[in-house]
Amino acid sequence: MKRIITAVILLLACSTAARAQQAGRCDGRTADDEHYVIILSMDAFRWDLPQRCHTPTLDSLRRVGVFAETYPVFPANTFPNHYSMATGLHPDRHNIVNNGFYDRSVGREMSVFKHSDTATPGFWGGDPIWNTAERQGRTAHIYMWPGSDIEIGGRQASIWTRYTDEPSYFERADWVVASMCGEAADGRIPNLVMWYFEEPDAVMHEYGPDSDEIIPTIEHIDSALAYFFREIRRSPVFDRINFIVTADHGMAQLSKERYINLNGTLDERHIARVVSGRPLGIEVDEEYLDTAVEIIDRIGHIKAYKRDSMPEKWHYGTNRNRITNLLVVPDNGWTVEYADCDKPRDGGTHGFDPFERDMHTVFYASGPMFRKGYEQRSFQNLNIYLVLCHLLGIEPSPNDGCWEDVCDMFAEGETQPDAE
């Protein structure tokens, strides 16, 4: 009996010591100086979905914190955008110029969905926030955020998880809560947690954002979030956690009538390669470039750009190693491809001009460091890097963000938790 009591006392003492160690740091910061932030990305969660569905959790987040409509970087696809949020850089500069691209230096197409490609040295550029944070003494636990399962610049988050769609959103919430209770493998309470839901992207691709079929998925996400916000209260640092819920890009409705197949329109003898996707990439002989642009621009609903003269607002085209010399950008909701036979499709997709409202997403932020009930003007999602650095109290690495675009969302001098 005595032995059991001793063991219990020892256990209690250990967990108190562990908690002090988790919270305390050797760089002079005390437990009270520690900042915590948890950011969730819900793939393709378009800005207007909460207005069309029953989303009480997101609605209450909006009431108690900051809400903004954010817009993606070009191209409005999953990996370029998640990695821009993580690095504060435009895709040209962080190197993930699309989900797939032809890399001249390796001489073949590479895909973000192939581990053997993403593990190639030099595949990723920039300094992702989990590395910025850990280099400055913070702890990061990253759950399936694109780019986090690979060593970048010789570093990785303390804890990371490779992507799989198997765990339910409730199980993912449990993972985050366990981390914030100090129950992860390293026994630390992380300063930064980033997690990821692959919906509503998949359901919107299949049925299109205008369909009612997407509604149950949106409402399921909201109920998983309700569960998460209930459970996270168990964390001993709950009062000091700042929460962000956002997405990488929106979604546009497609139609079989809005379809263009470029096959047969260009002189194939001048085409070195076609890289499918949005934008559609075509590598043509330099002397054929102007002719190709002219031919494509006559078609309508698509626009051809030479890599070196893309619209400035997209900050795209300087990455000559990974971007073809000709890019074809469809109007919002149009499909353009270079295919052997016509494959018109409906449903939904993204990758269009980030300034089209269909590509815009939600941004919710709440916690002690945010204003309450504040509507923040729209900003580009790469500024989330600066928001995270500010929340963590760390120096940002070189980035393309603009502090003025996001600084108004923070509560002045407020350090106390939101008493909901």
- What is the binding site for ligand AMP (CB under 6 A)? 43, 77-78, 99, 113, 144, 146, 163, 165, 198, 201-202
Shortest reach from residue 147's CB to ligand AMP, in Å = 8
Residue 358 as a binder of Zn ion (CB under 5 A): the answer is: no
CB of 157 to ligand AMP, least distance (A): 14
Least separation in angstroms between residue 139's CB and ligand AMP is: 21
- State the minimum distance, in angstroms, from the CB of residue 76 to ligand AMP: 9
Query: Do the strands 361-366 and 241-246 form a parallel or antiparallel pair, or are they unpaired?
Result: antiparallel
Region 6-45 residues binding Zn ion, contact defined as CB under 5 A: 43-44
Type of residue found at 182: G
Phi-psi region of 220 (alpha: psi -120 to 50; beta: other; left: phi over 0): alpha
DSSP class of residue 417 equals: P
Question: What crossing angle do the helices spanning 384-392 and 78-87 adopt, rounded to 10°?
Answer: 40
Preceding omega of 75 cis (within 30 degrees of 0) = yes
Give me the least distance between CB of 198 and ligand AMP, in Å please: 4
202 binds, among ligand AMP, Zn ion, none (CB under 5 to 8 A by kind): ligand AMP
Phi, psi for 90 (deg, rounded to 5): -70, 155
C-beta closer to ligand AMP: residue 248 or 418: 248
**Smallest separation (angstroms) from ligand AMP to the CB of 254:** 13
Nearest one of 391, 73, 366, 360 to 245, comparing CA atoms: 366
- The answer to whether 253 and 345 are in contact (CB under 8 A) is no
Helix, strand, coil percentages for the chain (3-state, nearest 5): 35, 20, 45
Return the residues of window 78-97 that contact Zn ion according to CB under 5 A: 78
DSSP state of 46: B
Closest residue to Zn ion in the complex (CB): 78
Residue (92 or 248) nearer to Zn ion, CB: 248
**Residue number, 164 or 416, with CB nearest to ligand AMP:** 164
Residue 99: which of Zn ion, ligand AMP, none does it interact with, CB under 5 to 8 A by kind? ligand AMP
Whether cis (ω within 30° of 0) applies to the bond prior to 368 is no
Where do contacts with Zn ion occur on this chain (CB under 5 A)?
43-44, 78, 201, 248
